[in-house]
Amino acid sequence: MNKVEMTEAIILAKSARNLSWEAIAEGIGMGTVWVTSACLGMNSMPAEPAAKLCALLELSDEVKAALMQYPTKQWQWQVPQDPLIYRLYEIVGVYGETLKEVIQEKFGDGIMSAIDFTMDVAKEENPKGDRVVLTMNGKFLPYKAW
Amino acid sequence: MNKVEMTEAIILAKSARNLSWEAIAEGIGMGTVWVTSACLGMNSMPAEPAAKLCALLELSDEVKAALMQYPTKQWQWQVPQDPLIYRLYEIVGVYGETLKEVIQEKFGDGIMSAIDFTMDVAKEENPKGDRVVLTMNGKFLPYKAW
Amino acid sequence: MNKVEMTEAIILAKSARNLSWEAIAEGIGMGTVWVTSACLGMNSMPAEPAAKLCALLELSDEVKAALMQYPTKQWQWQVPQDPLIYRLYEIVGVYGETLKEVIQEKFGDGIMSAIDFTMDVAKEENPKGDRVVLTMNGKFLPYKAW
Amino acid sequence: MNKVEMTEAIILAKSARNLSWEAIAEGIGMGTVWVTSACLGMNSMPAEPAAKLCALLELSDEVKAALMQYPTKQWQWQVPQDPLIYRLYEIVGVYGETLKEVIQEKFGDGIMSAIDFTMDVAKEENPKGDRVVLTMNGKFLPYKAW
Amino acid sequence: MNKVEMTEAIILAKSARNLSWEAIAEGIGMGTVWVTSACLGMNSMPAEPAAKLCALLELSDEVKAALMQYPTKQWQWQVPQDPLIYRLYEIVGVYGETLKEVIQEKFGDGIMSAIDFTMDVAKEENPKGDRVVLTMNGKFLPYKAW
Amino acid sequence: MNKVEMTEAIILAKSARNLSWEAIAEGIGMGTVWVTSACLGMNSMPAEPAAKLCALLELSDEVKAALMQYPTKQWQWQVPQDPLIYRLYEIVGVYGETLKEVIQEKFGDGIMSAIDFTMDVAKEENPKGDRVVLTMNGKFLPYKAW
Amino acid sequence: MNKVEMTEAIILAKSARNLSWEAIAEGIGMGTVWVTSACLGMNSMPAEPAAKLCALLELSDEVKAALMQYPTKQWQWQVPQDPLIYRLYEIVGVYGETLKEVIQEKFGDGIMSAIDFTMDVAKEENPKGDRVVLTMNGKFLPYKAW
Amino acid sequence: MNKVEMTEAIILAKSARNLSWEAIAEGIGMGTVWVTSACLGMNSMPAEPAAKLCALLELSDEVKAALMQYPTKQWQWQVPQDPLIYRLYEIVGVYGETLKEVIQEKFGDGIMSAIDFTMDVAKEENPKGDRVVLTMNGKFLPYKAW
Amino acid sequence: MNKVEMTEAIILAKSARNLSWEAIAEGIGMGTVWVTSACLGMNSMPAEPAAKLCALLELSDEVKAALMQYPTKQWQWQVPQDPLIYRLYEIVGVYGETLKEVIQEKFGDGIMSAIDFTMDVAKEENPKGDRVVLTMNGKFLPYKAW
Amino acid sequence: MNKVEMTEAIILAKSARNLSWEAIAEGIGMGTVWVTSACLGMNSMPAEPAAKLCALLELSDEVKAALMQYPTKQWQWQVPQDPLIYRLYEIVGVYGETLKEVIQEKFGDGIMSAIDFTMDVAKEENPKGDRVVLTMNGKFLPYKAW
């Protein structure tokens, strides 16, 4: 079973049980963003949460094995088109140089890791319209001289 | 004076006074990320903070006028190359579909605005290596039926 | 049932009944452009109009569910080729900077939303050749300082 | 004098007199969008309005000659980046196929001309936030059989 | 039946009867280039010639319906590769600016329509090697001021 | 003197004398399209017409030498943007496969040369709007077996 | 039978009989490069060698018909990736301007035809490592003035 | 002095003395293609021929030093546009897979080197039109197993 | 059996036996990187190691034949997306000019062969986090003058 | 002084003193590859080695300041063209998937860092032709679950 078939199986089971990603994530004791990304095939899941997830959704061991495989991460665009994803790309374009200035001012020459990294989505209620709060947390990696 | 010359003038004055972006932002009472982006030419600055910034850095009225101009936002890439900025692009690639799932599960069909939007960078100290914490806060805009 | 199969089912039923998009839109009390875009898979349809549409065209609940799904919006080009769509792209190229000048002169620094947005197509009869009248109506979103 | 120098001269004179595009357009009795596009070098202006515009802004005959030249229309992108212009591109992407369906249903096989074409921008006041109203009006050109 | 299946059906019938495009075009009283383009799916054919063509080639009503559908015109390249088609692209590259100068000198600011347009291919016999004569005939559309 | 400077010198002299490309071409006894293309730097001009052209426009021997140089032909696009040139590109896209069918039916497997090639532009007056008539004439080159 | 199926049939028959391209080419009395290119679908083969080739490899008349069809030549890259083919592309990049200088110095303004063209591959034995000798022979086509 | 200035100096001196590339190459006892490529900045020239070339053309030691520098080889296209160079690119496209078949049949798995490589251009006189003969000679490099 | 099916067969057999690439490579007495690349279809394997590998994994002669075929090497990107592979691409971007300087300083004008080439991956244990050690070893090929 | 001017100043001083990169690196006690990359503007140099380098080459404090600046890393290609750099790109293409398999087999799901990273170039003498030995050493970063 490859990652694409795995994702289909999980989404089918999730719909049948009418579960949200948040409920699944809570059910296995991990973060919602990470669990969703592993279910969409963009991260590998260690054995323990994979087993819990398959128990929760009554999925086979093949699904568990596919969740544990190391993925080849790829996406279908250089510039994304879906408006929700494009807005994130636009933020990188508009604020990329700014973040480089501000992060390197605080930390020195280096980068924020996208590997040793976590992310969270929260809802901020607001009478003028609710707000999405994205929090990214990545290890700072300084450049090395040798 | 165009935005490029404005940025050069600001950076020169900033270096001469040995000020950080954070100090400038505090000096005019606005957020660091936003002030930096306006100084790099990616946002327009209202008259009041522009006046304060020019007072703080002893810059001419031409700089103030340039800060107040509405910018044409553009960047030089489809796929960025600087490692710090590329990592942000990679996050959009790896987690874009995930964020779409999680945000739309919480809010319904729509997007997070990149216009009615704020962003902050914080430093989380950690013995294993400090961590960069990026927080994005954007209004949720639901799709409209008509 | 995915969005592609849904579109095929709707177009088959529409042809069989010899209905126009305009007639379908009137039949469910919504705008023609929006109804067509939802049927082509580019917008999600709320439960009520989706139920009406399926009743009108005698389509299954699977079609209704597919209409209600939140779509991933994408298109197959960077530069479109079909002459009708290319002309719209050309208009954005030729008049994009102009619209930026005129809109920002009237409203201040910001954008016209493509999310909180409606559009209409009308026919203007003219002895020298009929004319297409496209009307777009989008909320103005001002940039935010913080 | 080429079109780029012409645009700079016009914008300088416009700023010095503190005139809006709308005021200039009214002053010469033509539409705002068209006048702006000709001043930005994207349309040629006939002798009469060009003379009026140069009189209004006290500009030389060289500017008039440049306004009358037939432009080579071009833009710097395949996918635009400035958020205001990108939103228009996104609308063509999301609604392009829909407009093809709706226009061809009303008019038959053909296109909306981008040459025999006018456009207007209006402001619709609204307590929840003002709205931009774009109206495009183009001649329908049917495909020819031979 | 879609346009691709329609083209296959027509080419099969054409080969079986050993007919040339020219013979088919004469048989239905239309131009060779136009008939060929409609059979390849790049133009819609009105009911009458479509009926004649299906009679001539003994094809079903489904083919007739497909011929009458309004096509989405697209091609698989930005730069074509087949040498015959590439040479045409090269001519546009080498002579495009020249044609702009010459056409606009003769007609004023505007374009040659590719919609209200006909084309013909003739053979000019020549002892040093026969020559291809392509004739394009398109309505001149002047730019509109408003 | 390079080709770009040569083109500028010719256009300046042409404007000063208020000559059209057609008048220049007649003055030196060659075709309008070819003369224009050589003056724009896309063809090399033999010594005799180059001398006549420089005499007619009172240009220096340096211009003559530049006209005689063998050009490196290039253009700034893969997909052109100026509407007049784009329409020609669109014609290649829409009718390219058709022309391949029709030319190869008449001539066998091969191409129309873009080197041993001439082109002409004529104006066809028409009460419904004048028409542009482009005629291309290229040697047919059959593929060789060996 | 299309060209792709034809190539598969030929390669299967070639492997079964353990024949080289060179042996096949000798068997039908034509050049190795040309025969191979026709078998890979990049050239059309006249009736006589096609008949011989099908006799030699005991292939059906359908293969013969497919060999005789006029191909649409295309390849899957702008920049090739296979190292053998990339090296040829690199040679065009590194030596293209040089060849333009040298060929036009010897022949005047014009090109080497890729249609009236033959090519051969030979092996030059060498104790330091054998060498590949590619010989291309194309008709010189001078540009035409008119 | 960089390579671009070097090329300009050499071409100026070459024109002033009315020398061909072939004469220069003979004058320094090296091949025409190689000498031309080094003068265009695409190869480095060892000290001895560089000294001879500068003596022949009466050029300074700076030119000699620039000729000896190791170049960064690059070209301005992915798909070339000048017709002479494009035809070479087309040959790689049309015959690339064929050459891979034929070369690997003769030599085994490997490539023809573009580094340990020579090339020659000859003129073959022919009453039907002279022919260009390009000969490439590159070392075969077998893939290595380890 | 083509290379893709071959890779699937090998990976299935490898998983069933729970063997690592390293164990397979040791089992046939070749390097791990080379064996893996041949199994992924990016190199051809000589008869002897191919026979050993098929014996070790109990695979058919068809797999052996497919391992021995000369591959067409290609990859699905210009810029890779998987983070592990992207980092290698980034290293070429960041250090490419540096390596050119350093290698050519040590060896003269030329390149490191990617054909006569070996590569190895080792693990360096380190309390602060293990390190990957990649060693590439390629023949230096000097440019040739002729 | 920006990074480009800094590089020019360093290379001028290096040439004047006839020093190699290796000698400079030894002179300041750091690695050759790293020193070269910092001098080419692709890494920032801490104060101490920057001071030593400026002392060694008798360069001003402005150069030292420029060496210490945090660079924006970028390169001019998606696919490199210089043969030395292209071969490295080709290696990433041919062996990228292989390295992913082998590294992840040894280390688990994660990447080799290009930030916490060193590289070295050595010369391996060999009677059949010297060999380039590149050694890369990067920290393994495991993906994080959260």
Tens of pLDDT along chain A (146 residues)?
999 999 999 999 999 999 999 999 999 999 999 999 999 999 999 999 999 999 999 999 999 999 999 999 999 999 999 999 999 999 999 999 999 999 999 999 999 999 999 999 999 999 999 999 999 999 999 999 99
Compute the average pLDDT of residues E76-84.
97
- What's residue C60's pLDDT? 97
Chain B meets chain F (3+ C-beta pairs below 8 A): no
Interchain CB contacts (distance < 8 Å): D and F: 10
Compute the average pLDDT of residues F69-86.
97
How many CB atoms within 10 Å of residue C21?
21
Residue F124 identity (one-letter amino acid): E
Given CATH 1.10.260.40, say whether it is the number of domain D3-68.
yes
| Touching chains, J (3+ CB pairs < 8 A) | A, B, G, H, I
Mean pLDDT of chain F: 97
Q: What is the enclosing helix (H) or strand (E) of A35?
A: helix A32-39
Name the band, by pLDDT with cuts 50, 70 and 90, for residue D129: very high
Q: Are C115 and B110 a contacting pair, CB within 8 Å?
A: yes
Catalytic-labelled residue, pool H22, H60, H87, H131: H87
Query: Is position G87 annotated as part of the catalytic site?
Result: yes
Chain A meets chain I (3+ C-beta pairs below 8 A): yes
Chain G meets chain I (3+ C-beta pairs below 8 A): yes
- What's residue A25's pLDDT? 97
Q: Are H99 and G88 a contacting pair, CB within 8 Å?
A: yes
Q: Is G112 exposed, middle or buried (0-12, 13-18, 19+ CB in 10 A)?
A: buried
Segments in chain I forming alpha helices (H): 3-17, 21-28, 32-39, 47-57, 61-68, 83-107
- What's residue F92's pLDDT? 97
Look at H72 and J82 and tell me if their CB atoms are within 8 Å.
Answer: yes
Look at F78 and H79 and tell me if their CB atoms are within 8 Å.
Answer: yes
Interatomic CA distance for residues A65 and A59, integer angstroms: 11
Compute the average pLDDT of residues E102-106.
97
pLDDT in tens, H65-74: 999 999 999 9
Catalytic-labelled residue, pool I5, I8, I87, I131: I87
Name the band, by pLDDT with cuts 50, 70 and 90, for residue J56: very high
Residue of G81, G90, G102, G128 for testing the chain I interface, max I β-carbons within 10 Å = G81
E105 and D CB contact within 8 Å: no
- What's residue A74's pLDDT? 96
Q: Are strands A131-142 and B131-142 parallel, antiparallel or unpaired?
A: antiparallel
- What's residue E17's pLDDT? 96
Name the band, by pLDDT with cuts 50, 70 and 90, for residue G109: very high
I94 and B CB contact within 8 Å: yes
- What's residue H141's pLDDT? 97
Among the listed residues B71, D96, D121, A129, the one whose alpha carbon sits nearest the alpha carbon of residue C138 = D121
> How many H-runs (helices) and E-runs (strands) does chain J carry?
6, 2
- What's residue D4's pLDDT? 96
Q: What is each CA distance from F8 to F1, F2, F35, F59, in whole angstroms?
A: 11, 10, 15, 12
Query: Is position J87 annotated as part of the catalytic site?
Result: yes
Instruction: Give ipTM to 2 decimals.
Output: 0.95
Compute the average pLDDT of residues J99-111.
97
Question: Which of chain I's residues have a Cβ under 8 Å away from the Cβ of B83?
Answer: 90, 94
Nearest to C34 among B70, B72, B146 (CB): B146
Residue that has been written with the tokens 């600001």 in this structure: B10
Look at C83 and E73 and tell me if their CB atoms are within 8 Å.
Answer: yes
Compute the average pLDDT of residues B58-86.
97
Residue B143 makes CB contacts below 8 A (sequence gap 6+) with: B109, B110, C43, C44, C115
Q: What is each CA distance from J90 to C4, I80, I88, I113, J83, in whole angstroms?
A: 38, 12, 11, 10, 10
Residue G73 identity (one-letter amino acid): K
Compute the average pLDDT of residues G6-25.
97
Look at G73 and E81 and tell me if their CB atoms are within 8 Å.
Answer: yes
Look at H106 and G113 and tell me if their CB atoms are within 8 Å.
Answer: no
- What's residue C113's pLDDT? 97
- What's residue J25's pLDDT? 97
Catalytic-labelled residue, pool J58, J90, J101, J131: J90
pLDDT in tens, D22-40: 999 999 999 999 999 999 9
Name the band, by pLDDT with cuts 50, 70 and 90, for residue H82: very high
Look at A79 and D83 and tell me if their CB atoms are within 8 Å.
Answer: no
Interatomic CA distance for residues C98 and C105, integer angstroms: 11
| Touching chains, G (3+ CB pairs < 8 A) | E, F, H, I, J
Q: Are D83 and E111 a contacting pair, CB within 8 Å?
A: no
Catalytic-labelled residue, pool H8, H17, H62, H113: H113
Question: Which of chain J's residues have a Cβ under 8 Å away from the Cβ of H78?
Answer: 79
E3 and D CB contact within 8 Å: no
Residues 61-80 of B with CB under 8 A from J: 79
Q: Which residue in H has a C-alpha nearest to residue E91's C-alpha?
A: H83
Of 3.30.1160.10, 3.40.50.620, 3.40.50.150, 3.40.50.12160, the CATH number of B83-142 is: 3.30.1160.10
Give SS3 for E47: helix
Look at A90 and D94 and tell me if their CB atoms are within 8 Å.
Answer: no
Q: Are I27 and I56 a contacting pair, CB within 8 Å?
A: yes
Name the band, by pLDDT with cuts 50, 70 and 90, for residue G38: very high
Nearest to B83 among I79, I81, I90 (CB): I90
| First-to-final CA distance of chain B | 45
Torsion of CA B109, B111, B112, B116, to 10 degrees: -120
Compute the average pLDDT of residues H22-28.
97
Catalytic-labelled residue, pool G17, G20, G62, G87: G87
The pair of three-digit structure tokens given for residue C96, joined into one six-digit string: 């994009």
Q: What is each CA distance from I6 to B26, E38, F135, I26, I55, in whole angstroms?
A: 63, 44, 55, 20, 15
What pairs with residue G120 in β-bridges?
A: G135
User: What are the residue numbers of the active site of C?
Assistant: 87, 90, 113
Chain F meets chain E (3+ C-beta pairs below 8 A): yes
Mean pLDDT of chain E: 97
Segments in chain E forming alpha helices (H): 3-17, 21-28, 32-39, 47-57, 61-68, 83-107
For chain B, give the percent of residues with pLDDT over 70: 100
Look at E90 and H86 and tell me if their CB atoms are within 8 Å.
Answer: yes
Interatomic CA distance for residues F130 and F123, integer angstroms: 7
Gap from G45 CA to chain E (nearest CA, Å): 17
Interatomic CA distance for residues B86 and B82, integer angstroms: 6
Compute the average pLDDT of residues B52-70.
97
pLDDT in tens, G54-105: 999 999 999 999 999 999 999 999 999 999 999 999 999 999 999 999 999 9
Among the listed residues H115, H108, H121, the one whose alpha carbon sits nearest the alpha carbon of residue H139 = H115
Phi, psi at E121, each rounded to 5° = -120, 130
Look at F94 and E114 and tell me if their CB atoms are within 8 Å.
Answer: yes
pLDDT in tens, J65-88: 999 999 999 999 999 999 999 999
Residue F103 makes CB contacts below 8 A (sequence gap 6+) with: E84, E121, E132, F112, F140
- What's residue D115's pLDDT? 97
Residue H57 makes CB contacts below 8 A (sequence gap 6+) with: H10, H13, H14, H17, H19, H24
Gap from J117 CA to chain H (nearest CA, Å): 26
H94 and G CB contact within 8 Å: yes
Name the band, by pLDDT with cuts 50, 70 and 90, for residue G33: very high
Among the listed residues B41, B68, B37, the one whose alpha carbon sits nearest the alpha carbon of residue B52 = B68
Name the band, by pLDDT with cuts 50, 70 and 90, for residue F49: very high
Name the band, by pLDDT with cuts 50, 70 and 90, for residue I143: very high
Gap from F75 CA to chain H (nearest CA, Å): 7
Name the band, by pLDDT with cuts 50, 70 and 90, for residue J94: very high
Contacts by residues J66-69 (CB-CB < 8 Å, ≥ 24 positions apart): J66/J1, J66/J2, J66/J3, J66/J5, J66/J6, J67/J6, J67/J38, J67/J39, J68/J44, J69/J3, J69/J44
Interatomic CA distance for residues C24 and B141, integer angstroms: 27
Tell me how far apart the 2 most distant CA atoms of chain E are, in Å. 56
Query: Is position A62 annotated as part of the catalytic site?
Result: no
For chain H, give the percent of residues with pLDDT over 70: 100
Residue C2 makes CB contacts below 8 A (sequence gap 6+) with: C66
Question: Which of chain D's residues have a Cβ under 8 Å away from the Cβ of A86?
Answer: 86, 90
Given CA atoms D41, D45, D51, D53 in this order, what sign does their dihedral have?
Answer: negative
Residue of E77, E81, E92 for testing the chain H interface, max H β-carbons within 10 Å = E81
Torsion of CA C30, C131, D123, B44, to 10 degrees: 110
Provide the CB-side half-sphere exposure for B44 (13 A, CA): 16
Name the band, by pLDDT with cuts 50, 70 and 90, for residue J49: very high
The pair of three-digit structure tokens given for residue A123, joined into one six-digit string: 């809802």
Residue of F109, F116, F119 for testing the chain G interface, max G β-carbons within 10 Å = F109
Question: Which of chain C's residues have a Cβ under 8 Å away from the Cβ of E73?
Answer: 81-83
I37 and H CB contact within 8 Å: no
Q: Which residue in F has a C-alpha nearest to residue D42's C-alpha?
A: F82
Name the band, by pLDDT with cuts 50, 70 and 90, for residue J15: very high
Mean pLDDT of chain I: 97
- What's residue C146's pLDDT? 95
Mean pLDDT of chain H: 97
Look at F117 and G46 and tell me if their CB atoms are within 8 Å.
Answer: no
Q: What is the enclosing helix (H) or strand (E) of G91?
A: helix G83-107
Interatomic CA distance for residues F23 and H99, integer angstroms: 51
- What's residue B84's pLDDT? 97
Map out the domains of chain C as residue ranges: 3-68, 83-142
For chain G, give the percent of residues with pLDDT over 70: 100
Q: Are F140 and F133 a contacting pair, CB within 8 Å?
A: no
Look at H37 and G82 and tell me if their CB atoms are within 8 Å.
Answer: no
- What's residue J80's pLDDT? 98
Compute the average pLDDT of residues H39-58.
97
Residue G96 identity (one-letter amino acid): G
Q: What is each CA distance from H45 to H15, H53, H115, I144, J71, in whole angstroms?
A: 21, 10, 14, 10, 34
- What's residue C87's pLDDT? 97
DSSP secondary structure letters along A77-109: -SS--SHHHHHHHHHHHHHHHHHHHHHHHHH-S
For chain I, give the percent of residues with pLDDT over 90: 100
Residue that has been written with the tokens 């032909």 in this structure: F73
